[in-house]
Amino acid sequence: MVVPLISPSILSADFARLGEEIRAIDEAGADWIHVDVMDGHFVPNITIGPGVVKALRPHTAKPFDVHLMIAPVDPYLEAFAEAGADIITVHPESGPHVHRTVQAIKALGKQAGISLNPATPAKMLDYLIDEIDLVLVMSVNPGFGGQSFIASQLRKIEAVRKMIDKSGRDIRLEVDGGVDRATAGDCVSAGADVLVAGTATFRGGPGQYARNIAALKGMG
């Protein structure tokens, strides 16, 4: 069975101690750092901007997995790239020309991801699969942490895995939303190889982070 990469969402971290929290999850075995950027327009919540990403960048060498839930997204790509994002993931609905958005991310020297909301079909990837480095399947409606996993998304994960395998390209398949010890195995069985986990990673405080991450990997 695939041992997934774990990308803890700092949305569930203690925002008063973000630098310390990032160092703690790095030491606890996080593979990536997932940064949820929300604008209060594309999704019903407001989180952080590129200034915070830049401030956090010196605290870890792990890849910054930046998920932009903002619209329009194109005007902000360069700022997040310069702030230290390694992977920039966008939604097809966040601008009029998502193929152009992907090209812009690649031109900035970053990996490009596409995120699919629960009602967005896998078919949306048909003409993007040859350009992207990551697909993020949202297993909750984006906007808030701590939501319950939407089981219908397992079929989408399976469908995306088939598309990736058929493409022959090295594309990561990430899942975000309600991922915990109970649902992580189902996601991996369906084809995911990266799991975003906020609540499940940060539960119990820093002393528990290593145990929480090991559990998500199916090793604890």
26 is an active site residue: no
Q: What is the distance between the alpha carbons of residues 21 and 128, in angstroms, rounded to a whole number? A: 35
143 is in an annotated binding site: yes
Tell me the C-alpha distance between 2 and 135, whole Å.
17
Instruction: For residue 52, count CB atoms less than 10 angstroms from its CB and return exposed for 0-12, middle for 13-18, buried for 19 or more.
Output: middle
Determine if residue 218 is labeled as part of a ligand binding site. Answer: no
Q: Is 198 annotated as a binding residue?
A: no
> Is there a binding annotation on residue 144?
yes
34 is in an annotated binding site: yes
Cα–Cα distances in angstroms (integers) from residue 11 to residues 8, 57, 131, 169, in the given order: 9, 16, 28, 30
Question: Looking at 31, 36, 39, 65, which residue is catalytic?
Answer: 36
177 annotated binding-site participant: yes
Residue 176 labelled as part of a binding site = yes
59 is in an annotated binding site: no
Place of tokens 């048909």: 126
Q: Is 176 a catalytic residue?
A: yes
CA–CA gap between residue 212 and residue 203 (Å, rounded): 8
Q: Catalytic residue among 39, 133, 176, 180, which?
A: 176
* Residue 40 known to bind ligand: no
d(CA 211, CA 193): 19
Known binding-site residue numbers for a divalent metal cation? 34, 36, 67, 176
Binding residues for substrate: 9, 67, 143-146, 176-178
**Catalytic residue list:** 36, 176
